[in-house]
């Protein structure tokens, strides 16, 4: 999430009531998750296991639960609860409407048709010659390109599935990101595409999605991908261009699949994959899998 204007370290520290390490006027441009951070971003960390990853990331401001040595050129915000304060910062700079206020700031391009039963949030942009079917839900800040088809019952911009356990209950990390649907995308019936926690979930130009597909927060899908029914993609994945995912493929969070890959039906992906064709619970190379099957069947 980018702030509307740069903020100062002391301003953010005062907002959340934290200590800080670094110059008072150290510039802050926004917030982001560890997978997506850029210089000028705040990233939060609340477990020693991940201190090094956060401190050595591209982020230049680390919201942390313990005062540690600050890397050169960076700053710290020292909080007793970074998760809570990350939410506080995000919701201070991005208002959460949750369909509780009337429609406003919606841009709809020439030739676009929207069924009257569709529900559209605030600050939404829809390009030219797009078609929105009945009972589609489009959340706040969603951006949809030209020549896009979104079929009935699909939901764009639901909350990220991102929680921590706190006092025996689940505490949500509030989503302030969005969804970007690029030009010439087709999305089938009853798909659910979650908005980013602090960044964008992206469906690349020319991609086609079948029915009943779940795409998690901050995942980026490349151009001209083909995704069949009941595929589930967790958050923060990166799918290259022209990737084919057949029915009921499941992809764990944070994994990358190179452009041109084919993932056959019911395959589970729990690691990064180079370009190739894969099958099976742990995404085996398809040719290797066939050779293994031949050997097993020839055993006497």
Annotation marks residue 115 as catalytic: no
How far CA 156 is from CA of 49, 146, 151, 255, in Å, comes to 34, 16, 11, 22
d(CA 282, CA 284) in angstroms, rounded, equals: 6
Q: Which residues of 212-232 are buried (b: 16+ CB within 10 A; e: fewer)?
A: bbbbbbbbbbbbbbebbbbbb
Q: Which of 199, 203, 207, 197 is nearest to 215 (CA)?
A: 203
Q: Which of 67, 63, 22, 71 is nearest to 41 (CA)?
A: 63
CB atoms under 10 Å from CB of 286, counted, come to 17
Catalytic residue among 35, 92, 104, 217: 217
The CA angle 170-173-179, to the nearest 5 degrees, is 130
Active-site residues: which are they? 217
């Amino acid at each position: 999430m980018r702030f509307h204007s740069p903020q100062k370290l002391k301003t953010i520290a005062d907002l959340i009531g934290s200590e800080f390490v670094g110059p008072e006027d150290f510039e802050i441009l926004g917030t982001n998750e560890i997978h997506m951070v850029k210089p000028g971003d705040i990233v939060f960390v609340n477990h020693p296991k991940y201190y090094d990853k956060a401190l050595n990331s591209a982020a230049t401001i680390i919201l942390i639960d313990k005062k540690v040595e600050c890397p050169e050129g960076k700053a710290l915000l020292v909080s007793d609860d970074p998760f809570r304060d990350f939410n506080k910062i995000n919701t201070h700079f991005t208002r959460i409407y949750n369909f509780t206020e009337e429609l406003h700031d919606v841009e709809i391009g020439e030739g676009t048709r929207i069924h009257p039963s569709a529900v559209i949030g605030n600050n939404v942009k829809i390009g030219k010659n797009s078609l929105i079917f009945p009972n589609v839900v489009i959340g706040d800040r969603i951006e949809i390109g030209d020549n896009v088809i979104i079929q009935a019952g699909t939901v764009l911009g639901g909350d990220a599935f991102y929680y921590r356990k706190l006092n025996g209950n689940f505490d949500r990390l509030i989503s302030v990101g969005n969804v970007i649907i690029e030009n010439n995308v087709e999305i089938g019936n009853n798909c659910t595409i979650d908005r980013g926690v602090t960044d964008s979930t992206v469906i690349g130009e020319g991609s086609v999605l079948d029915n009943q597909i779940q795409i998690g927060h901050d995942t980026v899908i490349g151009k001209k991908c083909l995704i069949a029914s009941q595929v589930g993609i967790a958050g923060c994945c990166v799918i290259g261009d022209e990737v084919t995912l057949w029915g009921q493929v499941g992809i764990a969070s944070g994994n990358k699949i190179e452009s041109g890959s084919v993932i056959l039906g019911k395959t589970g992906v729990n690691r990064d994959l180079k370009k190739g064709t894969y099958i099976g619970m742990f995404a085996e190379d398809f040719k290797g899998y066939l050779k293994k099957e031949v050997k097993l069947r020839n055993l006497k």
